[in-house]
Amino acid sequence: MVGNNELKGYLGGFDLTDVLQMISQQQKTGILTVKGSAGQISLSFRDGQIIGIKPDMANQEFDLEQMLKKSGKLSISRLNNLRQEQIHHHATLEKMLVEHEIMSAEEIGNLNLLRIFEALECVLRWKKGSYSFQPTSILHETPYLPPQPSDFVLFEILRQMDELSVFEQHIPSVNSIFEAVSTFASEADDDLFSEDFKERLSIEEQHILELVSNGCTVQDIIDKSLQGKYNVYRTLHSFLESGIIAQKGEKSAAKGRVSGPGRWHGLTAVGFCLLFAVFIILSITAFTPASWLPVQIPGHNQKLSPSREIIAKYCQQKNQRYRQAKSLLNQ
Do residues 46 and 139 make contact, with C-beta atoms less than 8 angstroms apart?
yes
Residue 328's closest CA among 149, 154, 153, 159? 159
16 CB-near residues (< 8 Å, 6+ apart): 34, 123, 124, 131
Confidence (pLDDT) at 177: 95
Q: Give the Cα separation of 41 and 129 in Å (integer).
A: 11
pLDDT band of 3, cuts 50, 70, 90: very low
Predicted pLDDT of residue 117? 94
Residue 302 has pLDDT above 50, yes or no: no
How buried is 267 (Cβ within 10 angstroms: 0-12 exposed, 13-18 middle, 19+ buried)? Answer: exposed
- Top mean pLDDT of 176-180, 232-236, 299-303 is at 232-236
| Mean pLDDT value across residues 307-314 | 55
- CB neighbour list of residue 331: distance below 8 Å, 6 or more residues apart: none
Is the pLDDT at 187 greater than 90, yes or no?
no
Contact 38, 127 (CB under 8 A): no
HSE at residue 82, side-chain half, CA atoms within 13 A, is 21
Question: pLDDT tens, 11-62?
Answer: 875 578 889 999 999 999 999 999 999 999 999 999 999 999 999 998 888 8
Per 3-state DSSP, the chain is made up of helix, strand and coil in percentages (nearest 5) of 55, 15, 30
Amino acid 265: pLDDT: 41
Query: What percent of the chain has a predicted confidence (pLDDT) above 70?
Result: 68
Could you tell me the maximum CA-CA distance found in the chain, to the nearest angstrom? Answer: 86
d(CA 248, CA 92): 42
The H or E element spanning position 204 is helix 203-213
Q: Which amino acid would we find at residue 303? A: K
Q: Which residues pair with 32 in a beta bridge?
A: 43, 133
Measure the CA–CA gap between 40 and 56, rounded to whole angstroms.
5
DSSP assignment letter at 298: P
Average model confidence (pLDDT) for the chain? 78
**What is the average per-residue pLDDT within 295-316?**
46
The 10s digit of each residue's pLDDT in 258-289 is: 555 444 444 344 455 555 555 555 554 444 44
Q: Residues 128-186: pLDDT tens digits?
A: 899 999 999 999 999 999 999 998 999 999 999 999 999 999 998 999 999 988 643 33
- For the whole model, what pTM was predicted? 0.72
Q: What pLDDT does 89 receive?
A: 82
- What pLDDT score does 274 carry? 57
Residue 293 pLDDT more than 80? no
Contacts of 36 (CB under 8 A, 6+ apart): 11, 123, 126, 128, 129
H helices of the chain, in order, are 15-25, 64-71, 76-89, 93-99, 105-124, 150-170, 187-200, 203-213, 218-225, 228-242, 269-286, 308-330
Query: What's the rounded Cα separation, in Å, for the pair 240 and 180?
Result: 10
Tell me what pLDDT residue 258 has: 56
The more confident residue out of 259 and 68 is: 68
| pLDDT over 70 at 252, yes or no | no
